[in-house]
Structure 1
Amino acid sequence: MMSEAFVLEAQSRNDAGKGSSRRLRRLENKVPAIVYGGTADPVSISLEHNPFWHQLQNEAFFSHIITLKVDGKAQDVLLKDLQRHPAKDIIMHADFLRVDKNQAIVVQVPLHFINEDSSTGVKMQGGRVSHQANEIEIRCLPGLLPEYIEVDMAEVEVGQTVHLSDVKLPEGVESVALSHGEEHDLAIANIAVVKGGSDEEEEESEATPDAEGDSAESKD
């Protein structure tokens, strides 16, 4: 699941502050950011906006170890926070967290639901899948971080709910919620009965009064 390799080039900067960040964005088309965590001090950096923006179009970028090269020196980081412009497709600021390969990290990882259309509840029983969660929080070593977690809906029937405890996690990966106890076994998806009948049933129900009316007229 960790087939992607993400690399970002950045430059350190000493002129922190709102005015400096504004100049970076407007005049140099760069994104102000910060790197923190580990034993080193926080460092203010800047990244080229467009290459960074293109990396963000990949879902895996948000749950993947990133190689961040600051002034040519590489370090492993996670993207922890991202600020976007409310009206424009512009990245305003980013926070990166340094990671240690020997220390567990806590990350939100997306859920990928598979076999929904062919599931028992949908294909055989006419139900509809509903998602209660699209990502879950996991804990693992950086080297074991999955790009996503698969949720197989193949055997789920109408009226059944899939919980965190039903999801098969990769070896070395644990659910943060479940580590707090069974009462945190949250629902993530279910298959429910579709309200209302099918189009054919509706057509039949609409045709019934007319048929009765025709019968009554024939008796007259």
Structure 2
Amino acid sequence: MAEIILNVEVRDGAGTGNARATRRAGKVPGVLYGGGKAPVNIAVKANEFRKSLYTGKLLGHLVTLQYGEEKQSVIAKAVQFHPVTDEPVHFDLYRVDEHQLIKIEVPVHFKNHETSVGLKKGGTLEVIRHTVELACPADKIPEELVIDLAGHDIGDVIRISEVKLPEGVKPAMDRDFVIANVKASSAAQSDAGDTTA
């Protein structure tokens, strides 16, 4: 099962007034949907929700939802924040089976900037996609995709086909899309133009 357990209670009503009353009671309102069942209005104690949210393992991860003795696997799809206080004001959870194939956005990170040939020459890393949508079983969602820049030179294009994905995980799009490229910086290009003139 998942690392995070959200203890929820079912809310009676829906709408803005009910959500405000829930927040005044020290809870964060939310909606549980998906899995071929009707949406259910739920709430979690605000302090428990913040604690789970700030672990960094709530959004986009498999989470256990607990209602009394009943447990269910869910994925937190979205959290809305107050524009001034930055407190969570609403969340959406999606029902899933642990082994169900889902599509989810995963962040992309890069390593070995200092050993990249192109970056050493003064090139810059142009990131085209900061996240990549993957199709994977709900219990095998990768935390991140890490791309090694070692050996990449100016002009190199980094495509999804170069990324080693975990077993059972594949890109949601059926094409070899670009994630990033190493390009010559404008300063390096102007220096090259000066030497040829």
Residues 59 and 127 of structure 1: CA distance in aligned 2, closer, same or farther (over 3 Å): farther
Aligned partner of 1:192 in structure 2 is 183
Q: Give the deviation of 1:72 after TM superposition.
A: 4.1
> Number of matched residues?
189
1:50 paired residue among 47, 51, 70: 47
Gaps of 5+ in 1: 202-220
* Structure possessing the higher radius of gyration over alpha carbons: 1
Aligned partner of 1:29 in structure 2 is 26
Partners of 1:60 and 1:10 in 2: CA distance: 18
1:16 paired residue among 6, 14, 17: 14
Provide, for residues 51-72 of structure 1, a one-character-per-residue CA deviation record: whole Å limited to 9, x for no partner.
Answer: 3223323444322101111234
Cα-Cα RMSD: 2.1
Partners of 2:159 and 2:56 in 1: CA distance: 23
Within-5 A mapping of 1:125-144: 125-144=121-140
Q: Tell me, yes or no, if the aligned pair for 1:45 and 1:70 is still in contact at 8 Å.
A: no
What percentage of aligned pairs have identical amino acids?
35
Q: Tell me, yes or no, if the aligned pair for 1:60 and 1:148 is still in contact at 8 Å.
A: no
Q: Tell me, yes or no, if the aligned pair for 1:35 and 1:44 is still in contact at 8 Å.
A: yes
Partners of 1:51 and 1:118 in 2: CA distance: 43
Partners of 1:109 and 1:170 in 2: CA distance: 13
2:159 paired residue among 141, 159, 163: 163
The amino acid of 1:165's aligned partner reads S
Q: Tell me, yes or no, if the aligned pair for 2:59 and 2:78 is still in contact at 8 Å.
A: no
The amino acid of 2:17's aligned partner reads G
Q: Give the deviation of 1:15 after TM superposition.
A: 2.4
Q: Give the deviation of 1:82 after TM superposition.
A: 2.0
Partners of 2:25 and 2:69 in 1: CA distance: 20
Q: Give the deviation of 1:102 after TM superposition.
A: 3.6
Partners of 2:77 and 2:43 in 1: CA distance: 16
Within-5 A mapping of 1:201-212: none
Partners of 1:135 and 1:162 in 2: CA distance: 14
Partners of 1:19 and 1:150 in 2: CA distance: 44
1:115 paired residue among 112, 122, 141: 112
Runs of 4+ in 1 over 4 A off after TM superposition: none
Q: Give the deviation of 1:39 after TM superposition.
A: 4.1
Partners of 2:100 and 2:156 in 1: CA distance: 37
Within the alignment, does 1:79 sit opposite 2:70 as a pair?
no
Aligned partner of 1:213 in structure 2 is none
Provide, for residues 118-167 of structure 1, a one-character-per-residue CA deviation record: whole Å limited to 9, x for no partner.
Answer: 212123x2222221111110111112221111111112111112112221
Structure (1 or 2) with the greater helix fraction? 1
Partners of 1:155 and 1:57 in 2: CA distance: 36
Residues 57 and 131 of structure 1: CA distance in aligned 2, closer, same or farther (over 3 Å): farther
Aligned partner of 2:144 in structure 1 is 148
Partners of 2:112 and 2:48 in 1: CA distance: 35
The amino acid of 2:161's aligned partner reads S
